[in-house]
Structure 1
Amino acid sequence: MDLSRTRELFERPGPFATVYLEATNPGENAAKQTELRWRGLADSLTEQGADDKTVAAISEVFSENRGGELDAYGRVVVAAGGEVLLDEAVEGVDHSGDVATWSPLPELGSYFRSQSGSVRVVLAVVDQTGGDVYQVVASNVEGAQEVSEETVRGTAVESVHKPREGGNAHKRRQRRHAEAAYQNGADVVKGIQSAVKSFRPDIIVLAGEVSGREVVRHEMPKDLVELTREIEAGSRAAGASEDALEDALLTEAGLAATSRETSIRERFHEAKGHNNAAEGLEAVLEAARNGAIDTLLLVDGAQVTGELWTGATPEAISTEKDRAAALTDGEVVQRPAEQVLLRTTGALGGSVSVLGAGAELVDNVGALLRFPVGS
């Protein structure tokens, strides 16, 4: 998972309030239940020392009437200094219940773990007149969660339906209809490019009628084509099966997730032979402190062993309090090693990947490096 979206958050000084609201089955009184659940979490934050402005900022997130959205998808919210810094819907989060933490660091380990098994997809359901472009987080565990939707209506004035009359007039009109279809395809590609820029997907999936997919792919630049898969499902017509579309989408997402993990495992194995990988807490924290981590590797279902000392700056990390204090101004605190490594990796531009259960890493942590560290 790319941590760049949370880099600014990791660079800010704390303390932070981190709140996980678990997904539930929404009912008629969903808004009231959410309010009651948040009230208990707010009391917990206050007892832990959170300031009133920060608690109030999060309260605004949970007091809005979302028609059951907060219950259906759950939420992770991080706030500090009276400002909400992160607010994202996450179905189920990690199924560990509602949690509120006031801490020197944003406690996002559960969030990153829940998201790392997911695949970010820009889904375009197209025909020759335009397309519907969705931003989707897909997981074989939690299904397909729609984050955003945009309808792209082609700007071509000419009809895309083929004419029936013959002769030269027929050929001219046929050419105009083809041009109209490609113009509409180009408009859809602009919508896809916009979604890719903001959403940073792992893959693009083209669905819908065959002729619509053909013109959209034809208008795509090479960098988008390399991310694109096509599925024989989906339609913009009324009554089209959404189940078939979701099943096909999840199949592609599953293949992408498997390919991604296989690639990471192979890279890690190869990198170890060239001193471009680290394994174990001591080696990984040294790499993190030097800004050398490209991808932090965790193990599904196994927390990183131990705790680390850290200070105001991300590089100030150590297993020893005095050494961490020598690297930063102000006080240092001891926190779970996983949270500290995530903060340092994210602040210095790295990413995180969670390997499947059964993967064996010393201290349950490893890293792919940008450059060798140490001897």
Structure 2
Amino acid sequence: MRLDWIRPLTETDGPFATVVLDATHDTAEATEQYRLRWRDLYSRLADAGADEATLTVLDDAVTGADAPDGTAGRVLVAGPGGVLLDRHTEVPPERGTAAWGQVPDLLPLLAAVGEDVPTVVVAIDHTGGEIRAVDGEVETVSSDASGPVHKANIAGPGEGSADARVEETWKRNAQAVAERVDKLVRGGNAGLLVVAGDAPSRARLRDELSPAAAEVMAEIENTGGTVPEQVDDTVRAAADEVREQRRVAGLDSFRTAQGRSDGLAVTGLDAVVAATRAHAVETLLLDASATPGTEVVLGADASAVAISGADLDQLGQQATASATPADALIRAAAATDADVVLVRDGDDVPLDDGLGAVLRFPLGEQS
């Protein structure tokens, strides 16, 4: 799981208020239920010591936003500078959470939001395609070819050459769509390309795509040139599949590293904390049900995580805050461009203290 979207939170001093809220709006009573859920979380923050200014900016953000349509969740982080993060999620949380502390309550955020999968969506037929880019912009693309796009219904003299001209027009339209799609996939750093349309049109497009775009392509059977907005449920399912593939790949990477003797896999709180301070963590594995409840200490730098203040003293740093190991290590992973894998029941990955890491380099080789 990439953490680019929470990196700005590592560059700001706390304290922070973190809220994960069910924002579902699908009944006549939804507005009142939403208000009551928020007032409960507001009270929790106030009881935890959140200051009036932070509570006010959060209240304005929650009550002032338009209600989403249908089931949804919402995550917010606010600090001294105001609201730092405000995102809606497609799936509401199982329960709302509210926390106040020197470090954002990051684990519930990751569980609620998941990993971004930038996606390009295409609805294609023989006349061209309608494309939705990563940023949501929609455009219609076809070639400049002025040839026919429909074959003759009745065969006759010369119809073979006419059909060949039609197929050439189809091919040129597919080439035009593929050229634009390749550019949007590359420019948007897309991890998923969803293509809807009839099978022959999808095949023509696939043949014209660059290898990089074809590799992330997922197909939807459709014969009507469906516009991208009408396939969003399938797009979400395809994105979920990409997320799970990436998560499993992270687990496999850890298992493989554990099976070698080069020191590129560590497990346990002490070992992962030491690797974090050395900026050696490439992928952090975290089993939320097994991480220790005790807190670790933090220095001024987000990667300065230690079991005790004495450990930081040896590095010439002063302890400035404390946090749970999960929140501290997720924060450090975001600051050091590491990935995170949330381990689930049944993953069969043995982790001491619910923590593990795949390393960029063995700790014994650091200078």
What is the TM-score when the length of structure 2 is the normalising length?
A: 0.80
8 Å CA contact 1:93, 1:110 repeated in 2? no
8 Å CA contact 1:308, 1:318 repeated in 2? yes
Task: Return the offset for 1:331.
Answer: 5.1
Which runs of structure 2 are paired with 1:31-46 in the superposition (5 Å)? 31-46=31-46
Instruction: State the distance in 2 between where 1:91 and 1:228 align.
Output: 22
Equivalent position SS for 1:120:
coil
Equivalent position SS for 2:117:
strand
Larger Rg: 2
Offset from partner CA, 1:280-321 (integer Å, 9 cap, x none): 000000000111000000126433453211133213221112
Task: Return the offset for 1:68.
Answer: 3.7
Instruction: State the distance in 1 between where 2:163 and 2:222 align.
Output: 32
1:107 is the counterpart of 2:105: yes
Instruction: State the distance in 2 between where 1:132 and 1:250 align.
Output: 17
Q: Assess, with a 3 A threshold, how the Cα gap between structure 1 residues 325 and 17 changes in structure 2: closer, same or farther.
A: farther
Aligned identity (percent) is 27
Offset from partner CA, 1:81-119 (integer Å, 9 cap, x none): 232222222344551x22221211011112224555x78
Instruction: State the distance in 1 between where 2:138 and 2:149 align.
Output: 20
Correspondence for 1:227 among 205, 210, 216 = 216
Which residue in 2 is equivalent to 1:180?
Answer: 173
Equivalent position SS for 2:259:
helix
Q: What amino acid does structure 2 have at the position aligned with 1:122?
A: T
Instruction: State the distance in 2 between where 1:267 and 1:34 align.
Output: 46
Which residue in 1 is equivalent to 2:276?
Answer: 288
Which residue in 2 is equivalent to 1:144?
Answer: none
Instruction: State the distance in 2 between where 1:33 and 1:8 align.
Output: 32
Offset from partner CA, 1:335-364 (integer Å, 9 cap, x none): 211111111111111110022314321111
Instruction: State the distance in 2 between where 1:44 and 1:302 align.
Output: 25
What is the TM-score when the length of structure 1 is the normalising length?
A: 0.79
For these two proteins, the number of residue pairs brought into alignment is: 354
Instruction: State the distance in 2 between where 1:91 and 1:177 align.
Output: 37
Correspondence for 1:365 among 355, 358, 362 = 355
Instruction: State the distance in 1 between where 2:240 and 2:54 align.
Output: 41
- The runs of 5 or more residues in structure 1 that have no matched partner are 136-147
Q: Assess, with a 3 A threshold, how the Cα gap between structure 1 residues 327 and 230 changes in structure 2: closer, same or farther.
A: same
Which runs of structure 2 are paired with 1:82-231 in the superposition (5 Å)? 82-92=81-91, 94-95=93-94, 97-115=95-113, 120=117, 122=119, 124-128=121-125, 129-133=128-132, 149-157=136-144, 158=146, 161-164=149-152, 166=159, 175-194=168-187, 196-197=188-189, 201=191, 203-231=192-220
Q: Assess, with a 3 A threshold, how the Cα gap between structure 1 residues 235 and 48 changes in structure 2: closer, same or farther.
A: farther
Offset from partner CA, 1:32-55 (integer Å, 9 cap, x none): 332333233334334433334433
Task: Return the offset for 1:328.
Answer: 6.8
8 Å CA contact 1:292, 1:373 repeated in 2? yes
Which residue in 1 is equivalent to 2:155?
Answer: none
Instruction: State the distance in 2 between where 1:155 and 1:342 align.
Output: 45
8 Å CA contact 1:159, 1:180 repeated in 2? no
Which residue in 1 is equivalent to 2:290?
Answer: 302
